[in-house]
Amino acid sequence: MPFSTIIEPFRIKSVEPISFTTREQRQLLLRSAHYNLFLLKADDVLIDLLTDSGTGAMSTHQWAAVMEGDESYAGSRSFDRFKHSVQDIFGYKHVIPAHQGRAAERILFHVMCKKGDVVPNNTHFDTTRANVEYVGAEAIDLPMPEARQPGTVLPFKGNMNVAALEELIERVGREHIPLVMLTVTNNSGGGQPVSMANARAVSNLCHQHGIPLYFDACRFAENAYFIKLREPGYADKTPKEIAQEMFALGDGCTMSAKKDGMANIGGFLCTNDDLLARQEENLLILTEGYPTYGGLAGRDLEAIAVGLQESLQEDYLRYRIASTAYLGNHISERGVPIVLPPGGHAIYIDAKAFLPHVPLEQFPGVALAAELYLEGGIRSVEIGSLMFGKAAQMELVRLAIPRRVYTQSHIDYVVEIILRVWEKRAQISGLQLTYEAPFLRHFTAHLEPAA
């Protein structure tokens, strides 16, 4: 790259004000939100890095397409555009729209899985796991072993452990594995990419045993760009060619258009199997909508059709990956422990290493997230013991970067605040629970400074 300054590959035509608060105000706001950043009002947040899902900015082309939305119930022009755009990239025969990724997952697993089945994945996203388990099947994560070591730097830490997959197929039998899933990029594994070589090895193994391979494709464009940058033989291919090559290794996919669809809502399910597609469409009609809209408005289908193509533009991907890496590298250089190397959509701070004096029962991740808000109005999310209880593998604070929303100066500010908090880390103390719901407690929990 010729310049070290990251130039946003867009200029700003419409602006949305963000609100500044004082430290004293944030102290009060934090207390009334019971130290749980989910309970803050978004208006009281300066830089919102809670999630990259559905929080992106649409382009002028997407907004223009929105006005072209055909809201006909059946056979709309917008569905045709959507289907062509999806097929151009993904190449699958049947394209089934859904209101978001989890709706596609529910339909897929309902049709393909039954009680006693096993679904392997490099790492299941939480809604994917929940939808597998909801039909009585078992969700098994088979990441490469290094995926659980935050400090280990490898180019494709999202890869599936192919030897473990082979062992699993032998152990439980092909007849109990209705499909294998590969998540690109591996979100729950730190936003780390999967290599083409790994996808090919997984595909070969699946097809040797007659098992279909489905991609959880949410961040397929970021994954394609990492392959271009890091995998030998791909430097001269376009991200679209790389994505097409990868999807040709599978039999279908699920997708949340709130990620690399560059839209604020939407998703889809694809398959090459005619019989499955018919069953999936029948289920879609029952709960989502007619197969040419699937719970989305025609204007949403238009926005996704354009967004999918924009997510593969190299100028955009260069900025996207560089700006996430910029944040990660600038804090990591100064000693802040993060999951390495920086992923595509987020930076994960290792809160256990950041606050070694805070015991795990006092939620170091939640305490650090609260401190980042107090110091600079930044909202992040704990991915650790509050979210997963005793099942937590690591204590992380995720800073997810919305697409095309923040500029380099916003990111510089985030770096500055994190480094300030790093300097005074010894003074940060833990939190204790005062209320928890029986399930998914992190969304509504109340906490207070530990006694």
Contact set with ligand PLP (CB under 6 A): 53, 100-102, 125, 127-128, 183, 187, 216, 218, 256, 258-259, 267
* Beta carbon nearer to ligand PLP, 190 or 377: 190
Q: Which residue is nearest to ligand PLP (CB)?
A: 101
* Beta carbon nearer to ligand PLP, 181 or 415: 181
Helical H segments across 76-195, by residue range: 77-90, 101-112, 126-134, 162-172
- Nearest distance from residue 99's CB to ligand PLP, in Å? 8
* Beta carbon nearer to ligand PLP, 296 or 374: 296
Closest by alpha carbon to 85, among 199, 221, 250, 213? 221
* Beta carbon nearer to ligand PLP, 101 or 341: 101
- Nearest distance from residue 183's CB to ligand PLP, in Å? 5
* Beta carbon nearer to ligand PLP, 102 or 352: 102
CA distances from 195 to 76, 120, 156, 158, 165 (A): 37, 18, 6, 8, 16
The tokens of 249 are what?
């290794």
How far apart CA 266 and CA 264 sit, in angstroms, is 7
CA distances from 118 to 75, 379, 445 (A): 37, 37, 32
DSSP assignment string, 26-45: HHHHHHHTTT-GGGS-GGG-
Handedness of CA 404, 36, 351, 417 (dihedral sign): positive
- Nearest distance from residue 130's CB to ligand PLP, in Å? 10
- Nearest distance from residue 184's CB to ligand PLP, in Å? 8
* Beta carbon nearer to ligand PLP, 161 or 188: 188
Note whether 78 and 302 are within 8 A (CB): yes
How far apart CA 98 and CA 268 sit, in angstroms, is 5
How far apart CA 380 and CA 374 sit, in angstroms, is 12
- Nearest distance from residue 345's CB to ligand PLP, in Å? 8
* Beta carbon nearer to ligand PLP, 101 or 178: 101
- Nearest distance from residue 334's CB to ligand PLP, in Å? 29
- Nearest distance from residue 23's CB to ligand PLP, in Å? 33
Backbone angles phi, psi at 198, to 5 degrees: -70, -45
Q: Which residues contact 3 (CB under 8 A, 6 or more apart)?
A: none
* Beta carbon nearer to ligand PLP, 44 or 251: 251
The tokens of 397 are what?
């604070």
- Nearest distance from residue 102's CB to ligand PLP, in Å? 3
